[in-house]
Structure 1
């Protein structure tokens, strides 16, 4: 599988937010995420970094 895990960057640390993310898209000032199992989350913030090689998405609050 090639899904990525999403983390929130806060206080210099990366905290796991959602595993096995398969869809990510902007929705206004929020980011919609859905994982392989159908779990959905709407994050209010922005993308800090995406590492395709490491299958990792890092988000940060505005």
Structure 2
């Protein structure tokens, strides 16, 4: 897995999954969780989330 390093020395995977539009529609919850699980099953370790995504629900 390729990584990138930030100026402070933190190293993260170059590829991750963003959750910006997740948790906006309750009818898509099952598919969104399945996508996250599939990514983790395939070795993904970086999930980009923020408190404001889905009014905090994307983090939950």
TM-score by length of 1: 0.23
- Of the two, which has the highest radius of gyration? 2
TM-score by length of 2: 0.23
- Structure (1/2) with the larger strand percentage: 1
- Structure (1/2) with the larger helix percentage: 2
